[in-house]
Amino acid sequence: MTRLLVPIFALIMGSSFLMIAGGLNGLILPLRGTQEGFSTLALGLLGTGWAIGYVGGCLRVPVIVRRVGHIRTFGVMAALATVSVLLSLLIIHPWAWIPLRALTGFSFAGAAMIVESWLNERTDTQYRGRVFGVYTMVNLTSTTVGQMLIATGDPGGFTFFVLAAMFYALSLTPTALSSSAQPQPLVTSKLDLRVLIRNSPIAVAGAFLVGISNSAFGTLGVVFGGALNLDVTTIATMMSLSILAGSAFQIPVGIASDRFDRRAVLVVLAALAGCVDLYLIIFQPGGALAVLVATALFGGVIYSMYPVLIAHAYDHAEPGSYLKISGGLLLVFGLGAIVGPLIAGGVMAVDPGRGLFVTTLGAHLVIVAFALYRMTQRVAVAEADKTDFVTMPSARYATPESGSFDPRIEGEEEASGDENPPGAEASASTMAK
């Protein structure tokens, strides 16, 4: 394993710096905004801005890379992210922060895609799954580190803005100093709803609804914690535990979804999330331990749903179409991520303590109802015909390039007869059609 990681160590470190900056910046803004008296709607729009920028980055950065190359594009992305964070410190106003957050989302998506493209290019196909596992764990740890840094000081100062800017700048160094050949053009995606719905209606609806739920919680969980008068350390721990639980839950969830109808597994996950929603709405626990346990369970189930949806979509996909399906569903998730914080922010303006989970409860109930309906319309895929479940990072930080690491793509390459790697221009043009 060491032999595999040594050539890509610098890229892994660059991604680590990027994720630390993303975790830190994503938490400091709603915390500071709450201190500054921003409305919950404005704080929700921060998440909407991020999602718009992130989806825009996934769509447009491949075009920029084709024009000027990976290294120059990555430098621009790191510079824009650094500037956006520092401007957020200089101009403390919601109507400045919202477009700046969109700029950060655009830059973050572009930088992540370039790092993933480079890693994919420098990893042999047979080792892609192992490298992706290491990459995912490093990113998970780094995001957690970035969020937990908040607990070391006062969000009311300038320190955490400067630290986030520094880590964005540091993420530039591995690619800037690289002497290796640039990888192939980035994977591109196009949203073709007819194709996606024909392949799996529940995957499309589920991706959109999970995008609403996950982005609402990821953006406004901090505001919920503030409404319960939790201290900064507890809020940072709450948000970090939810992500860690989401990663841990994917192991048993994956085993279950490979053995049973994935739609039934999705129903169970959404129902569990709905139970936590109801608990937090009805009882509004004030104790830190009760909140941490509830939100850890909540994060475990909501962050496990998207990989189940991807696996279910792959079960019905034609050979050679996995990347197109995964890229399209990621964009559907992104559309939900745009809507989720906006809805939740509006509801929380009326009821700050319950509004977030009223919003997520609605999304989870619709998932349960539609998945049960779809189970009456389509026979479950036989266990022998299923693709393998693969653990995935939070879809909020996934890019179309992330799909290139999926070990299930190896079979797609053989089936399609494509000799180019998933990041190659031939694959990109195929997905764009």
Overall average pLDDT of the 111-132 stretch = 74
* Model confidence at 315: pLDDT above 70: yes
| Count of residues in the chain | 433
Rounded CA-CA distance 432/186 in Å is 12
Rounded CA-CA distance 168/25 in Å is 10
Q: State the helix-helix crossing angle for 322-350 and 40-68, rounded to 10 degrees.
A: 160
Q: Is 172 helix (H, G, I), strand (E, B) or coil?
A: coil
Overall average pLDDT of the 217-227 stretch = 92
pLDDT in tens, 19-33: 999 999 999 999 999
Rounded CA-CA distance 284/382 in Å is 42
* Model confidence at 213: pLDDT above 90: yes
pLDDT in tens, 136-150: 888 888 889 999 999
* Model confidence at 185: pLDDT above 80: no
The answer to whether 81 and 19 have CB atoms below 8 angstroms apart is no
* Model confidence at 432: pLDDT above 50: no
* Model confidence at 124: pLDDT above 60: yes
284: buried, middle or exposed (CB in 10 Å: 19+, 13-18, 0-12)? middle
* Model confidence at 63: pLDDT above 60: yes
pLDDT in tens, 11-21: 788 888 989 99
For 113-130, the DSSP string reads: HHHHHHHHHTS-GGGHHH
Overall average pLDDT of the 391-416 stretch = 64
Give the pLDDT band (50/70/90) at residue 7: low
* Model confidence at 428: pLDDT above 60: no
| pLDDT score, position 415 | 39
Query: How far lies 397's CA from each of 51, 116, 330, 401, in Å?
Result: 10, 12, 10, 11
* Model confidence at 412: pLDDT above 60: no
Give the pLDDT band (50/70/90) at residue 90: very high
| pLDDT score, position 126 | 66
| pLDDT score, position 420 | 41
Predicted TM-score (pTM) of this structure: 0.87
Give the pLDDT band (50/70/90) at residue 329: confident
* Model confidence at 110: pLDDT above 90: no
Q: What is the dihedral of CA 285, 295, 149, 246, to 10 degrees?
A: 170
Rounded CA-CA distance 125/407 in Å is 8
For 360-429, the DSSP string reads: HHHHHHHHHHHHHHHHTTSPPPPGGGPPPP-----GGG--GGGGGG-THHHHHHHHHT--S-TTSHHHHH
For 258-301, the DSSP string reads: HHS-HHHHHHHHHHHHHHHHHHHHHT---SHHHHHHHHHHHHHH
**Which pair of tokens denotes residue 254?**
């994956």
Rounded CA-CA distance 30/26 in Å is 7
Is the domain spanning 2-432 CATH 1.10.390.10? The answer is no
Considering the chain, what is the average pLDDT of its residues?
Answer: 84
Amino acid type, 174:
P
pLDDT greater at residue 301 or residue 110: 301
Residue listed under structure tokens 């990663």: 247
pLDDT greater at residue 259 or residue 431: 259
Q: What letter does residue 150 receive in the DSSP assignment?
A: G
Overall average pLDDT of the 175-190 stretch = 65
Q: Residue 138: which of 251, 234, 5 has the closest Cα?
A: 5
For 298-354, the DSSP string reads: HHHHHHHHHHHHHHHHHHHSPTT-HHHHHHHHHHHHHHHHHHHHHHHHHHHHH-TTT
* Model confidence at 296: pLDDT above 50: yes
